[in-house]
Structure 1
């Protein structure tokens, strides 16, 4: 099951939708069997057909965190590798 995260606690869902435990169980079941994905694709297709979606994508890299090794930091005990580029003067 993909990791869904909204930042909202299940216990904060309005009571008119049922108990939070029932909603949580139903959501997990629907996410596992693909129902959530199908509902999202259907809603997107309908909105796209109606012209309600602007498919411009923007990524704000200021919120993307990378592990220090992904940034090129040396690992403990490893010696720097010589560059294949021209020597700096």
Structure 2
């Protein structure tokens, strides 16, 4: 897997890692690689692809999905977001109009809104 295309930088990961479950220092079963797992979650969020289309370099899509589901149920992502949102990184917060689809009626096409008596 080409790690140069990953989006989590080292300083960002240092803030995220304490919130992750299944670290090597935790007792019991540990996840294989929490950083790679988070990269997989971000890949799904960025592309909007279904879980089945996750590239094999991230691991088995079903295993990653189940881990994502478990973390979501346990509130890991919510805690991570709440803790990290005090210092927002606005680099990823930009919404480009080219990726937001508008219904054709909103673009002025025939058949849009009209007032009828």
TM normalised by structure 2 equals: 0.37
Tell me which structure has the larger Cα radius of gyration.
Answer: 1
RCO greater where, 1 or 2, for CA within 8 Å and sep 6 or more?
A: 2
* Higher helix proportion (structure 1 or 2): 2
